[in-house]
Amino acid sequence: MNKHGHLAEFLQARRSQLRPEDVGLQTYGERRRVPGLRREELAMLAGISAPYYSRLEQGQSRNASPEVLDAVASALRLDESERAHLHTLAQAPRRGRRGGRTPAERVTPATSALLAAVEGTPALAIGRCTDVLAWNRPGHALFAGHLDPDAPDDPGRRPHMARLVFLDAHTRDLYVDWPAKARAVVGNLRLTAGRHPDDPQLAALIGELTMRSREFATMWADHRVLSCDVADYEMRHPLVGTLTVTQQTLQSPQGSGPSLVVATADPGSPSAAALALLAHATAPREAARPHHGSATRTT
- Give the percent of the chain with pLDDT over 90: 39
Secondary-structure class of domain 109-281 per CATH: alpha beta
End-to-end CA distance of the chain: 75
Count, residues in the chain: 299
Encode pLDDT of 183-210 as tens digits: 999 999 998 888 888 888 899 999 999 9
With 0-12 / 13-18 / 19 or more C-beta atoms within 10 angstroms meaning exposed / middle / buried, residue 102 is middle
Higher local confidence (pLDDT), 21 or 223: 223
> Is the pLDDT assigned to residue 30 strictly greater than 80?
no
The domains of the chain are located at 5-91, 109-281
pLDDT of 56 > 70? The answer is yes
Residue 295 φ then ψ, to 5° = -65, 145
- Asked if residue 56 lies in contact with residue 64, where contact means CB atoms within 8 angstroms, the answer is yes
Flag whether pLDDT at 59 surpasses 60: yes
DSSP category for residue 130: S
Identify the CA nearest to 283 among candidates 238, 239, 235, 237: 239
- Alpha-helical runs (H) found in 122-199: 137-144, 161-167, 169-174, 178-195
What kind of fold does domain 5-91 have according to CATH? 434 Repressor (Amino-terminal Domain) (1.10.260)
Pairing of strands 132-135, 230-237: unpaired
- Banded pLDDT at 29 (limits 50, 70, 90): low
**What is the pairing mode between strands 259-264 and 123-126?**
antiparallel
Instruction: Assess contact for 185 and 161: CB atoms under 8 A.
Output: yes
pLDDT band at 1 (very low <50, low <70, confident <90, very high): very low
Average pLDDT, the chain: 84
Mean pLDDT value across residues 222-234: 87
Indicate if the pLDDT at residue 31 is higher than 90: no
Residue-level pLDDT at 161: 95
Asked if 41 and 60 touch (Cβ cutoff 8 Å), the reply is no
In this prediction, residue 197 carries a pLDDT of 83
Give the pLDDT confidence score for residue 85 in this predicted structure: 87
Does the pLDDT value for residue 121 go beyond 90?
A: yes
Q: How confident is the model at residue 254 (pLDDT cuts 50, 70, 90)?
A: low
pLDDT at 23 exceeding the cut of 70 = yes
Tell me the Ramachandran region of residue 116: left when phi exceeds 0, alpha when psi lies from -120 to 50, beta otherwise: alpha
Predicted confidence at residue 141, as pLDDT, reads: 95
- Candidates 249, 247, 180; CA nearest to 215 is 180
> Rounded to the nearest 5°, which phi and psi values hold at 63?
-120, 35
Q: Is 212 helix (H, G, I), strand (E, B) or coil?
A: helix
Distances (CA, A) of 150 to 135, 137, 197: 9, 10, 31
Task: Output the pLDDT for position 251.
Answer: 79
15-29, 79-93, 281-295: lowest mean pLDDT where?
A: 281-295
Predicted confidence at residue 286, as pLDDT, reads 56
Q: Is the dihedral of CA 270, 276, 282, 285 positive or negative?
A: negative
Residue 257 vs residue 287, higher pLDDT: 257
* pLDDT above 70 coverage of the chain, percent: 84
pLDDT at 103: 66
Between 34 and 120, the more confident residue is: 120
Average pLDDT value for residue range 81-92: 83
Mean pLDDT within 64-86:
87
The contacts of residue 110 (CB under 8 Å, 6+ apart) are none
In contact, 182 and 206? CB cutoff 8 Å? no
The residues, ordered by sequence, that sit 6+ positions from 276 with a Cβ below 8 Å of its Cβ are 120
Residue 246 bridge partners (DSSP): 232, 264
For position 110, what pLDDT does the model report? 81
Q: What is the pLDDT of residue 126?
A: 93
Has residue 138 got a pLDDT over 90? Answer: yes
Q: What distances in angstroms separate CA 61 from CA 5, 129, 297, one per listed residue?
A: 12, 29, 83
